[in-house]
Amino acid sequence: MQSAQDSLIHEATSLFRLVESIDIFVAEHENLFSYTEATQAFFLHIHDQAAVTRNSVSDIIEKLAQAPEHAAPRYRRELIIHKDRWRTLHTYIKPATDAHTLNLPSPLIQMATEDLRRIPGMEGTAVVVLLTPELMYYHNTPQSRPPSQLAFVEVPYSQGPSFFTNLTIYHELGHYVYDSLADSYNQSTAFTALVAAMSRAFDDMFDESLKTPSTRTWAKRVLDAWTKEVFCDLFALRHLGPAFSFALIDMLSLIGLMEEETEVKFDAEHPATALRLREQLTRLRDDGWWAEVQDLPSEHVSLIARVAGKSESDYFFEFAEKRLPAFTEAFLTIVPFIHALVSDVTPHCKSAAEDFSRRRLEIEDCFLHGVVPSKLLAEGEASSPTQVSMINAAYCFYLTLLPKLMDKLEGQESYNLIHRKKWIEKLEAWTMKGIEDHQLLTATAATQ
């Protein structure tokens, strides 16, 4: 029978091998591919942690060799802490190594990073992308002490290098922002007001109906999740304009969640699509975007108008086959405070629609002639289209003008899906090139 010391040496060696294997795996990928600065920072953290763990485990075994037999459990506890950390980190490393720059819309990630850094308190934030096997986007933060100010976003691997659906990354970054606001020692007035509104709504609606502490905790969690979802939608919308709503519709449609029968249904994690689109429409109107896109001959626009127009009385939340109207009623009283918080966090996004209004046709004309819209940037700083204008013009073009482009080209049929796919990918590439050029021109101008 093995002694406790032998058993501990065996465990320590296994952990040592695991850590070394992960360390080498990351280093090999760094040699093969390029990564964003944020991912490189994460990998550096992994290398540091690996060195720390290897040294620590070696120390444990050296001390163990000189310690009495009964000291083994203490050292085992130390090993367990290391093992737990690596079990968690292990799940992040493969998705991060998969997310090299050939598999990512790097200019969009760069733009999102710059947008995050405009928010007070987030000046040093960077976005680490993880490619997930799920066909869904997630916000994700490692529980084992990640480097501070790294926001982790999970992107479906199939959507990695594409552009339009990846605009929904901004929604996931909204989760990071919301969590950071909630964790902040110095919470803003708008956030405090939102928390107070949630508390008020809860007390008014649920005092009588929810008896047990666990039910009350669950109910609070539901309201919190809905609040966060609407915050994230509006956060993304403020930065991206209607292109976010279009991308959300495309993504929800791709995973089969844009069905008419579920439009007014809330679940424990998400408010109903009808409410989400209604609040987005309100925001688009307030920010001047809706006037710019409401006449677009696109199914997406009419769908937003139709679904957002559903009556509040149709909304329902069902749990265990029982309708719970108090939840939706309570939530509707919270929604105005979410809008106020989003405005408070994103004052820099105010006039994006004005630029779009002035530059949309020019940008679309560039696409129609197969030209990257950064051409317009060279005409002078004062009249340069913003990245948001380029993105929205590209999405409008995608929804309405793609056949017109294809009609100018030899042998291209808009009903041929192979041809259509090719030109959507070209349009995405031109848009990303436009954004990349914008970033390069801005950096060049800053040095002169």
Partner 1 sequence: MTPDSINGKKPQLFGVFARGEILNRLSLPSNDPAGLVITPLLARDKAIDADSVDLRLGTYFLLPRSLPEAYFCPDQNTATSLHVKIHVPLGRYLVIPAHQTVLGSTLEFIKLPYDASGEILTKSSVARTFIVVETAPWIHPEYRGCLTLEIANVSNTPVLLYPGRSIGQLILLHVARDYDPVAKIGSTYFGPIHPEAPPFDNPEDDLAKIGVRRTAVIRKGIIVKGGRFEVTEPGPKFHRADAALPSGEAQG
Residue 102 interacts with partner 1 (CB under 8 A): yes or no:
yes
Site string for partner 1, 374-393 (x = CB under 8 A): xx-xx---------------
Q: How far is the CB of 408 from partner 1 (least distance, A)?
A: 6
Say which residues have a Cβ less than 8 Å from residue 121's Cβ, sequence separation at least 6.
180, 184
Beta bridge partners of residue 151, listed in sequence order? 127
Binding-site size for partner 1 (CB under 8 A) equals 32
Residue 426 interacts with partner 1 (CB under 8 A): yes or no:
yes
Q: Considering only the stretches 101-109, 122-130, 136-144, 168-176, report the one whose residues sit in contact with partner 1 under the rule CB under 8 A.
A: 101-109
Cβ proximity to partner 1: between 1 and 378 the closer is: 378
Q: How far is the CB of 155 from partner 1 (least distance, A)?
A: 17
Assign residue 271 a region (left: φ > 0; alpha: ψ between -120 and 50; beta: otherwise).
beta
Joined together, the tokens standing for residue 299 give 């199914």
Q: Are the beta carbons of 194 and 340 closer than 8 angstroms?
A: yes
Residue 153 interacts with partner 1 (CB under 8 A): yes or no:
no
Residue 31 interacts with partner 1 (CB under 8 A): yes or no:
no
C-alpha separations of 435 from 71, 119, 152, 355, 387 in Å:
60, 21, 22, 15, 6
Q: How far is the CB of 162 from partner 1 (least distance, A)?
A: 14
Q: Which residues within the stretch 394-413 sit at the binding site for partner 1 (CB under 8 A)?
A: 408-412
Residue 4 interacts with partner 1 (CB under 8 A): yes or no:
no
Q: How far is the CB of 411 from partner 1 (least distance, A)?
A: 6
Helix runs in 33-71, H state only: 37-66
How far is Cα of residue 188 from the mean position of the Cα atoms in its chain? 23
Site string for partner 1, 346-365 (x = CB under 8 A): ----------------x--x
Q: How far is the CB of 413 from partner 1 (least distance, A)?
A: 11
Q: Are the beta carbons of 220 and 227 closer than 8 angstroms?
A: no
Q: Considering only the stretches 200-208, 222-230, 295-303, 428-436, report the one whose residues sit in contact with partner 1 under the rule CB under 8 A.
A: 428-436
Q: How many whole angstroms separate alpha carbon 233 and alpha carbon 341?
A: 12
Q: Are the beta carbons of 264 and 298 closer than 8 angstroms?
A: no
Burial category of 267 from C-beta neighbours within 10 Å (exposed 0-12, middle 13-18, buried 19 and up): middle
Q: Are the beta carbons of 315 and 268 closer than 8 angstroms?
A: no
Concatenated DSSP letters of 312-372:
GGG-EEEETTEE-HHHHHHHHHHHHHHHHHHHHH-GGGTTHHHHHHHHHHHHHHHHHTT--
Q: Considering only the stretches 253-261, 332-340, 352-360, 423-431, report the one whose residues sit in contact with partner 1 under the rule CB under 8 A.
A: 423-431
Q: Considering only the stretches 210-218, 236-244, 339-347, 432-440, report the one whose residues sit in contact with partner 1 under the rule CB under 8 A.
A: 432-440
Q: Which of 56, 101, 294, 386 binds partner 1 (CB under 8 A)?
A: 101
Q: Are the beta carbons of 349 and 238 closer than 8 angstroms?
A: yes
Residue 430 interacts with partner 1 (CB under 8 A): yes or no:
yes
Q: Considering only the stretches 100-108, 191-199, 304-312, 323-331, report the one whose residues sit in contact with partner 1 under the rule CB under 8 A.
A: 100-108
Beta-carbon count within 10 A of 161 CB: 17
Q: How far is the CB of 437 from partner 1 (least distance, A)?
A: 4
Residue 98 interacts with partner 1 (CB under 8 A): yes or no:
no
Residue with tokens 């009556």: 311
Residue 421 interacts with partner 1 (CB under 8 A): yes or no:
no
Residue 372 interacts with partner 1 (CB under 8 A): yes or no:
yes
Helix runs in 154-293, H state only: 169-183, 189-206, 213-240, 242-254, 273-286, 290-293
Residue 366 interacts with partner 1 (CB under 8 A): yes or no:
yes
Cβ proximity to partner 1: between 377 and 399 the closer is: 377
Cβ proximity to partner 1: between 28 and 84 the closer is: 28
Q: How many whole angstroms separate alpha carbon 435 and alpha carbon 356?
A: 15
The three-point CA angle 434-436-437 to 5° equals 65
Cβ proximity to partner 1: between 291 and 361 the closer is: 361
Q: Considering only the stretches 60-68, 243-251, 339-347, 433-441, report the one whose residues sit in contact with partner 1 under the rule CB under 8 A.
A: 433-441
State the residues that interact with partner 1 by CB under 8 A.
33-34, 100-102, 106, 362, 365-366, 368-372, 374-375, 377-378, 408-412, 426, 429-430, 432-433, 437, 440-441, 444
